[in-house]
Amino acid sequence: MKTGVLLVNLGTPSAPTSVAVKAFLSQFLHDYRVVDLPRSLWCPLLHGIILPFRSPKVAKLYQGIWWPEGSPLMVVSKRQQAGLQQALQDEGIDMPVALGMSYGEPSIESGWQQLKEQGVGKVIVLPLYPQYSVSTTASVFDSWAKLMKKERLVPALRFVHDYHDFSGYISALADSVRSHWEQHGRGDMLLLSYHGIPKRFENEGDPYGQQCHRTSELLAAELGLEPHQWRTTFQSRFGREEWLQPYTDKTMEKLPKEGIKKLDVICPAFSADCLETLEEIAGENKEIFLKAGGEQYHYIPALNDNPAHIRMLMDLVRRELV
């Protein structure tokens, strides 16, 4: 039976315009896995306030990070797909690789159609989220299950749940940090900033926060860092309820007063650079840190289509073949 790989990521607007951002946010923020409020409460707020006011504001932010070839998340995701396809071919493995996004295009459905047309009977669904979260990984599973309702012949399935402690992932991150230090020098601290989730999700059983802490511990150990040389924080809060703490932006304000003047920041929850890393971390938070008295701030890019990242994806695929 022919095996295929479906790489999945979050998705991104098709253009950095208010209209395209509104369409993207509307699909994203209607997902119960992301916002689980009763629709009688959420829909009036979403349609009346959030979409009309947030879309033009966020469109401007996307304009600031957009690449000539498109949204960074999309450009990088396509490179990851092509890179993994090439690496498999180079090893003589006949295994098609398709790309699908939870929100926007190319959809998970179109990715599956591509694999189906190539005669795939077993699918490795690989959400590009190293840490499992209800709001990301479970949502990919929902989309897949919904899609399979339409199929008479459901393919065999391997679903990559998470890879937060996978040795290849930790060593790819460590190599990336070391090569950054070689080129740019080493800061006083390595800050590991992860996308946040509502604290309530964790209370209800989401292992995301725990997995983020484990990734940090393993990376710090691999780099030989002392406890005062690294810290874990959570970014990208949305809405008014409490999210996982400590918050990245609040930490940026405090660090220079604690004597941390040179900071290196890495975002291990993001397999590809995107709005949340390029604008929020490399832009907004850098400004906060420097304004608070920081002297040097370096953002270490996501693993993107680094050869080490592609090799790690190959190893994850291999793990699912046994």
Binding residues for Fe(2+): 195, 276
Question: CB of residue 92 vs Fe ion: minimum separation in angstroms?
Answer: 38
Question: CB of residue 274 vs ligand L6N33NVT: minimum separation in angstroms?
Answer: 3
Asked if residue 50 lies in contact with residue 12, where contact means CB atoms within 8 angstroms, the answer is: no
In whole angstroms, how far apart are CA 201 and each of 52, 131, 197, 235, 243? 27, 14, 7, 15, 9
Segment holding 252, helix H or strand E: helix 248-254
- Measured from the CB atom, the residue of 162 and 188 that comes closer to ligand L6N33NVT is 162
- For ligand L6N33NVT, the binding residues (CB under 6 A) are 10, 12, 25, 34-35, 54, 58, 71, 73, 129, 133, 135-136, 195, 197, 208, 236, 238, 269-270, 274-276
- Measured from the CB atom, the residue of 64 and 185 that comes closer to ligand L6N33NVT is 64
Residue 43 interacts with which of Fe ion, ligand L6N33NVT, none, CB < 5 to 8 Å by class: Fe ion
Tokens representing 310 are 């592609």
Residue 135 interacts with which of ligand L6N33NVT, Fe ion, none, CB < 5 to 8 Å by class: ligand L6N33NVT
Asked if 43 is part of the footprint of Fe ion (rule: CB under 5 A), the reply reads yes
CA distance 170 to 160: 17
Question: CB of residue 91 vs Fe ion: minimum separation in angstroms?
Answer: 34
Per DSSP, the three-state class of 177 is helix
- Nearest CA to 287 out of 245, 238, 253, 247 is that of 253
Question: CB of residue 297 vs Fe ion: minimum separation in angstroms?
Answer: 22
Residue 280 interacts with which of Fe ion, ligand L6N33NVT, none, CB < 5 to 8 Å by class: none
Question: CB of residue 204 vs ligand L6N33NVT: minimum separation in angstroms?
Answer: 13
Contacts with Fe ion by CB under 5 A: the residue count is 1
Asked if residue 114 lies in contact with residue 98, where contact means CB atoms within 8 angstroms, the answer is: yes
Per DSSP, the three-state class of 158 is strand
- Measured from the CB atom, the residue of 72 and 294 that comes closer to Fe ion is 72
Per DSSP, the three-state class of 262 is strand
Tell me which stretch binds Fe ion (CB under 5 A): 43-51, 113-121, 184-192, 281-289: 43-51
CA dihedral sign, ordered 62, 65, 67, 68? positive
Tokens representing 14 are 């098709």
Residue 313 interacts with which of ligand L6N33NVT, Fe ion, none, CB < 5 to 8 Å by class: none
- Measured from the CB atom, the residue of 73 and 95 that comes closer to ligand L6N33NVT is 73
- Measured from the CB atom, the residue of 188 and 305 that comes closer to ligand L6N33NVT is 305
- Measured from the CB atom, the residue of 33 and 120 that comes closer to ligand L6N33NVT is 33
Question: CB of residue 276 vs ligand L6N33NVT: minimum separation in angstroms?
Answer: 5
Residue 32 interacts with which of ligand L6N33NVT, Fe ion, none, CB < 5 to 8 Å by class: none
Give 164's DSSP letter: T
Per DSSP, the three-state class of 266 is strand
Residue 54 interacts with which of Fe ion, ligand L6N33NVT, none, CB < 5 to 8 Å by class: ligand L6N33NVT
- Degrees to nearest 5, angle at CA 285 with 162 and 172: 35
Question: CB of residue 164 vs ligand L6N33NVT: minimum separation in angstroms?
Answer: 11
Residue positions in the annotated binding site? 195, 276
E-strand stretches of the chain:
2-9, 97-101, 120-127, 156-159, 189-195, 230-235, 262-266, 296-300
CA distance 264 to 259: 14
